[in-house]
Structure 1
Amino acid sequence: MKKLSISLLTALLIMAGCNNDENTNNEPEVVVNENPAAFKEIGSITIGGEAAAEISAYCEKTKRLFTVNNSGVNQIDIIDITDPTKPTKIGKIDLTSYEGAANSVSVFDGKLAVALESTANKQGNGKVVVFNTSDYSLIKQVTVGALPDMITFSPDGKYIMTANEGEPNTDYSQDPNGTISIIETSTYNVTTLDFASFSGQAATLTKDGFRISKSAKSFAQDIEPEYITISDDSKTAWVTLQENNGVAKVDLTSKTITAIYPLGFKDFNTAENAIDVSDSDDKIAFNPWKVKGMFMPDAISHFSANNVPYFVTANEGDAREYTANTDIKRMKSLKLDASVFPDAATLKLDTNLGRLNLIADMGDTDGDGDLDEMISFGARSFSIWNGNTGKIVYDSKNDLDKKANELGTYDDKRSDDKGSEPEAVYVAKMGNQNILFVGLERSDAFMTYDVTNPNAPQYLQTVKTGDAPEGLLFIPASKSPTKRSLLVVSSEGDGTVKIYQPDLK
């Protein structure tokens, strides 16, 4: 067995408190000669069925995971990972008395923050409830915007942020503004920001690939914040606006939204972006097609290289499916412009593009009632973007689907929708490398890449997970119960939490 090298100085830097589970890329280093291309499962626990293990947070002080469990219950399950090879459920926090359902959790310095959407009225304001991680006692509860979908502490612990999705009800009679809430942990004062001030930029943003639904009552109501990452210095946040195909930049010092970055489109009509588009052809075949994809990212993470900030997105894609507005249709049900698609009849076969789900209210560029271009949900990739400008630096092309196929986990029955469906991303520092983990919801796997050079990421590994991995949580060696790096994968499809550890070099 190879030897661990832990410097005395580093050991002294290891804090007793719990640190942010979502965004800390600047943890004090425990010098461990680990191989980031060799993660292996070392422990697993099943806490319920579907929706039982969506997101987990870790407390270093108690060596516990706090995992959302919405599988017929409304609680946070507490898992002891003092020995990560034998994770053990030791308790729960019942949330029923708080009149909200948990969507996300985050931990810092002995405090567990939980994002709760209102169960009385999903379009009503949500809550953040803060508990002590040692005895689960209530510390504070505060009101935030409608449908807080994700929560995180800033790396310095001074802020809690929530992405409040603000989805409409099914007939659009209620459609709250999508918002971002910033909570100061010293006072628990809350600042909730909406996007109304950007409505004057709607035309310019749309031209560059931002999306506002044709059913929207207003610009601010249509925005749907999804996921947050906060810079290591706790001054800047980037927030995905999934259904809108954008990312918002937030200045935490001034508590203002400073920019919206439209993400544009991906061209699938190239060899390197070739995709499998049919779930009815009894084969997996990656081919170029005259189709574009909106990135529509779910999770987001960040890192820096040469003093430049970058954010990474999991380009899942997401449709709006309501009684008053359903924007997803099969390609074969839509009319194509004959001059652009002279082979429309052939393209509409189920074995070709006929089954592909398209964004129904986009693509008619000249307004004559037929599609001049086909636009689908998601980019089937991860992308790296410049954090200062929002410009794309790198896209993984079709690598996720092809690598999943090589592993034997690619689900051909999702080819007509979003392929492997990249859902989660997390960038962690391992030694002097920035390592990216990408969770694939429909391929039941995560992949690792070395993104130390953001212009040229290097693929490292594909690892099988539970069913529908939703949450990725990296525990650095300095915070780990074993003083070895751990990756915790929470899978909502089968309610499992799996723990992975890399081999030593």
Structure 2
Amino acid sequence: MRKTTAVATALTVALTGAAAHADERSDGTALSPLGTYATGAFDRSAAEIVAHDPRHQRLYVVNALAATVEVVDISDPTAPTKLFDLAAPGVPAADGSVVEEGVVANSVAIHGDTVAVAVEAADGTDPGWVVFYDTRGNALNAVRVGALPDMATFTPDGRLLLVANEGEPNDDFTVDPEGSISVIKVNRRPASVTQRDVRTADFRAWDEGRELPEGVRVFGPDLSTGEPGTPGRVARNLEPEYIVADTAHSAYAVLQEANAFAVIDLRTAEVTEIVPFGLKDHMEPGNGLDASDRDGAIRIENLPVYGMYQPDGFDSYRHEGRTLLVTANEGDVREWGDYAEGVRVKNLELCEDSPRLRPYLDANGLTLADLQRDENLGRLTVSAAEGLTEDGCHDELHAFGGRSFSIFTTDGEVVFDSGSDFERITAEANPDFFNSNHTENTFETRSDDKGPEPEGVTLGVIDGRTYAFVGLERVGGVMVYDITDPEGAAFVDYVNNRDFSATPGTPEAGDLGAEGLTFIAAEDSPLPGVPLLAVANEVSGTTTLFRVDLP
């Protein structure tokens, strides 16, 4: 199998050096790989989230395997070099606690000379920490936050640090902490932050009488105690995954499993709204999907399935005076203890008179048994919690994720969705490895479960135009779209720095499992005037820098 254009370009870099990349484009692609920092750890989450320090030209890369943040010098982007680690255990916190051994680093954010690392407790259901460092690597301070702090970001002015505390249950589902958002007053003086500077935005109002909007998924086992003052079902069920600061006063947090997002007022540290993302109709033209890993073919077709967008990473931008949310529609299944939400269609009892399924069956001369064959919809993983009638049969099928990226208004209206683009484009690029997994080279093993699995997205402005860079977790690579006109968003390029002729786990295989992406603007780049994209890949444990040539 021939290498993709991006991989071939990487070989050219190794032979010719950085000069050609610094001066002119080497090929016709939007992204050209410049250099890679490799941890050497395969399938161990050794490169997850990446943040850029423009003052010192460094990347901060979360290595969950080592429970550290690796600091990488990119002053020469063709040869990223590790400088040192940020380690959290032993750091004293403002509340009198000490960051314990066995913690996990989940996220990193930078503003000026302040670095903030979100740290999960050794027991993930316990409150976690945020540890502050300076850019020389000195630990300055730490504060306690909610359970499983999964993502941290500064407001644009750097005065507040926001932390999405996911609050997942433990493995056997005997403990389920509440999800929340920590709002920390930093005021550019991290060493002086006290525990009193940490406020918590929670979801308890929806357990105390406020009506939950239709379409916000609250489901599964309920471990609420019912005791006064303790979080109820909604507060425990909603799990903030990712957070974006829109302004100094407002932010949005994705509630992935709930297929919704929260609106946060940063002045009061309150969740003011919960907005459902809604459903993607895979029967609509342009919204097809390949739903079977057992049909031996690429079949992207319209099927009577709804997709729950359930984004993981997202970003925001302003267009004509309004904020728009750009989402990577990964999808996620809730599986804890004896509870497993995901089920294959062939294992469901489907309603004979389903108003959703029956027209499709009749139009195609099929029976329910035909629909549930492995080569049709039988293998597709859907939610057992959705579409279930009082009669105990399912009349709708809700799959996980949208296999796309979308642009939403802050009211939850879909402005744009990439439809079936990701499966169609990846099929054209590497047909022998369509819907491959990221730990092995396979053919359509992910068709039955979220497909390419878009994981993260970051936005960048180049010459006045706004672009979205979307990472695909499974088959790999980055999709590039021009979203300057959100309603007319247009595909630009797809580049996959993966060599399918090499064995995953070897250096020759390239990047596997794109997780976190960071855009580096031309004015902040180590290559003067040339924007870059940094991509952290959790399976290959690599972080790759691409030069960006747009438009």
**TM-score normalised by structure 2 residue count:** 0.82
Can you give the 5+ residue segments of structure 1 that lack an aligned partner in the other structure?
1-31
Corresponding residue for 2:11? none
Answer yes or no: is 1:434 the counterpart of 2:482. no
Aligned partner of 2:434 in structure 1 is: 410
Per-residue Cα deviation, 1:412-464 (whole angstroms, up to 9, x for no partner)? 11000001101001111112101111111112011111111111101101011
1:62 corresponds to 2:56: yes
Question: How far apart are the structure 1 equivalents of 2:208 and 2:400?
Answer: 26
CA distance in 1, matches of 2:171, 2:31: 43
**Residue identity matched to 1:385:** F
- Structure 2 residue aligned with 1:131: 133
Q: Cα deviations across residues 156-197 of structure 1 (Å, max 9, x unaligned)?
A: 101111110000113332111100001110353101111011
Query: 1:108 aligned to 2:100?
Result: no
Aligned residues with identical type, % of pairs: 38
Partner of 2:147: 146
**Cα 1:325/1:381, change in 2 over 3 Å:** same
Q: Which residue number in structure 2 is paired with residue 178 of structure 1?
A: 179
Match of 2:543 in 1: 497
Deviation at residue 91 of structure 1 after TM alignment: 1.6
| Compared CA separation, residues 504 and 272, structure 1 to 2 (3 A) | closer
1:294 to 303, 308, 318: 308
- Of 487, 493, 506, which aligns to 1:461? 493
In the alignment, structure 1 residue 40 sits paired with structure 2 residue 44: no
- Which aligned runs of 4 or more in structure 1 are off by greater than 3 angstroms? 32-37, 199-204
| 1:214 corresponds to | 220
Compute the displacement of 1:61 (Å): 2.0
Change (3 A) 1:309 1:89: same
Partner of 1:88: 81
Q: Give the CA deviation at 1:306.
A: 1.2
The residue that corresponds to 1:283 in the other structure is: 297
Q: CA RMSD in A?
A: 1.9
Please report how far the alpha carbon of residue 349 of structure 1 lies from its aligned counterpart in structure 2 after TM superposition.
Answer: 0.8
- 1:223 is aligned, of 238, 260, 266, to 238
Instruction: Give ranges in structure 2 of 5+ residues lacking alignment.
Output: 1-22, 91-98, 225-232, 359-366, 436-443, 498-510
Distance 1:106 1:60, change over 3 A: same
Q: Separation in 1 of the partners of 2:250 and 2:473?
A: 28
Distance 1:425 1:455 in 2: 18
Trace 1:442-461 onto structure 2 (pairs within 5 A). 442-461=474-493
Report the residue type matching 1:492 in the other structure.
Answer: E
1:247 to 247, 261, 268: 261
1:471–1:489: 8 Å Cα contact kept in structure 2? yes
Deviations 1:341-381 (A, max 9, x none): 561100111111110001012111x3101111111111111
Partner secondary structure for residue 470 of structure 2 = strand
Give the secondary structure class of the aligned counterpart of 2:378: coil
Displacement after TM superposition at 1:300 (Å): 1.1
Which residue number in structure 2 is paired with residue 344 of structure 1? 368
Q: 1:368 to 1:202 in 2, by over 3 A?
A: farther
Q: State the SS of the aligned residue for 2:182.
A: strand
- State whether structure 2 residue 441 is matched by structure 1 residue 396: no
User: What amino acid is aligned across from residue 81 of structure 1 in structure 2?
Assistant: I
- Opposite residue 294 of structure 1, the aligned amino acid is M
Say yes or no: does 1:193 pair with 2:201.
yes
Q: What is aligned with 1:7? A: none
Give the conservation status (yes or no) of the 8 Å contact 2:201–2:264.
Answer: no
Deviation by residue 1:372-391 (Cα, 9 ceiling, x = unmatched): 1111111111111113x222
**Matched residue SS, 1:162:** strand
Specify the alignment match of 2:163 in structure 1.
162
Q: For 2:379, which of 342, 355, 372 is the aligned residue?
A: 355
Shift of 1:271: 3.1
User: Structure 2 vs 1, CA of residues 416 and 259 (structure 1 numbering), >3 Å: closer, same or farther?
Assistant: same
Q: Once the 2 structures are TM-superposed, how far is the Cα of residue 204 of structure 1 from its aligned partner? A: 4.9
C-alpha spacing 1:93/1:312, structure 2 compared with 1 (3 Å): same
Counterpart-to-counterpart distance in 2, 1:410 and 1:89: 34
Give the aligned residue type for 1:312. V
Q: Which has the higher strand share?
A: 1
- C-alpha separation between the residues in 1 aligned to 2:86 and 2:351? 56
Is contact 1:202–1:219 with CA below 8 Å preserved after alignment? no
Q: SS state of the match for residue 115, structure 1? A: strand
User: Which amino acid in structure 2 is aligned with residue 367 of structure 1?
Assistant: E
Contact 1:55 1:471 in 2 (8 A): yes
Q: CA 1:261 to 1:334, structure 2 compared with 1: closer, same or farther past 3 Å?
A: same
- Displacement of 1:201 in angstroms is 7.0
Letter paired with 2:30? A
Q: Greater shift after overlay, 402-411 or 281-290?
A: 402-411
For 1:85 and 1:204, how far apart are their aligned partners in 2?
Answer: 50
The match for 1:477 is 522
Match of 1:18 in 2: none
Length-normalised TM-score, structure 1: 0.89
Q: Which amino acid aligns with 1:211?
A: R
On the 8 A contact 1:248/1:260 being kept in 2, the answer is yes
Q: Shift in Å at residue 95 of structure 1?
A: 3.0
Q: Tell me the residue number matched to 2:508.
A: none
SS at structure 2 position matched to 1:40? strand
1:373 corresponds, among 393, 396, 407, to 396
CA distance in 1, matches of 2:133, 2:303: 51
Aligned-partner residue type, residue 39 of structure 1: L
Distance 1:471 1:201 in 2: 38
Residue 269 in structure 1 maps to residue 301 in structure 2: no
Q: Distance in 2 between matches of 1:230 and 1:410?
A: 36
Give CA deviations for 1:260-288 in whole Å, capped at 9, x if unaligned: 11111111123311100001111111011
Match of 2:457 in 1: 425
Query: For residues 401 and 485 of structure 2, what CA distance do their matches in structure 1 show?
Result: 25
Q: Give, in whole Å, the separation in 1 of the partners of 2:322 and 2:480.
A: 22
Question: Which residue in the other structure is 1:8 paired with?
Answer: none
Q: Report how many aligned residue pairs link the two structures.
A: 466
The one-letter amino acid of 1:371's match is H
Judging changes above 3 Å, is the alpha-carbon distance between structure 1 residues 321 and 214 closer, same or farther for their aligned structure 2 residues? closer
Amino acid at match of 1:67: V
